[in-house]
Structure 1
Amino acid sequence: MIRAGACALALALTAAPASAQAVNDYPTNARVEYAFACMATNGQTRDMLDRCSCAIDRIAEVLPYADYVGAETILRMRQTTGERSGMFRGMAALTETVATLRRAEAEAEIICF
């Protein structure tokens, strides 16, 4: 038998605000991949692990995971050569997605580094 307090807690957890859900919609492997890449750039220390983990947490607060994946895909495709990469360079909607990621990264850098 479930107590009333447990039911209220379960209801409160399922009715979490959208911002809390956005933070938690990043899979663990995406967070780890970001932290590893960040540490490779900034140093392989415990302090950098904390700072890089903080950064991806801040990005997750600003940008839903689907938008993060889209922006990362655009950035990676822009680095390639050839005809296919051209379509990822000029489209305004794609540019806005990347700009949102860049703003989230800048905010994370200010807060975490």
Structure 2
Amino acid sequence: MIRKLLCTLACGLVPWAPAAVAATANDYPTLDRVEYVLGCARDAHGPAQENIYKCTCMIDSIAQRLPYDQYVEYSTSANALSIGGERGETMRSYTAGKEMASKFRAMQAEARKACLMGA
């Protein structure tokens, strides 16, 4: 109950949100949500249980703003920029990929702030 209330407040969910937004926010496969939360909680500092709640809030916030297909493209682009060597250079020279990664990082920063996640 507390988690739901915190996420409702922090993620900006409102009871009168359009059904289309709710449907889009729920089209993420459970596995992708779990992987995001586990990775986020692993990288965060602080109490593990608290980080799980905050990271869950973050992926929920991102899911409200970004359809799943775009999430896959944006997050893949963001992750691919960190690949070293020639393989990474291919991604770093792909302008559209850099733009997607930048948008994804901005969404993550907004979600981090909305969900009271530390820097």
TM-score (norm 2): 0.71
- The equivalent of 2:38 in structure 1 is 36
Where structure 2 has 5 or more consecutive residues not aligned to the other structure, the ranges are 1-17
- Greater share of helix: 1
Q: Between the two proteins, what is the percent identity of the paired residues?
A: 37
| CA–CA separation in structure 1 for the residues paired with 2:33 and 2:19 | 21
Kept in 2: contact 1:63–1:104 (CA 8 A)? no
Output the amino acid matched with 2:51.
Answer: M
Q: Residues 19-98 of structure 1 correspond to what in structure 2 (within 5 A)? A: 19-42=21-44, 43=46, 45-98=48-101
Structure with higher Rg: it is: 1
- The equivalent of 2:110 in structure 1 is 107
TM-score (norm 1): 0.75
Q: Residues 10-25 of structure 1 correspond to what in structure 2 (within 5 A)? A: 17-25=19-27
| CA–CA separation in structure 2 for the residues paired with 1:96 and 1:78 | 11
- The equivalent of 1:12 in structure 2 is none
| CA–CA separation in structure 2 for the residues paired with 1:45 and 1:70 | 29
| CA–CA separation in structure 1 for the residues paired with 2:106 and 2:83 | 23
22-31 or 76-85: which moved more? 76-85
State the 1:83 CA deviation. Answer: 2.2
Task: Say how many residue pairs are matched.
Answer: 98
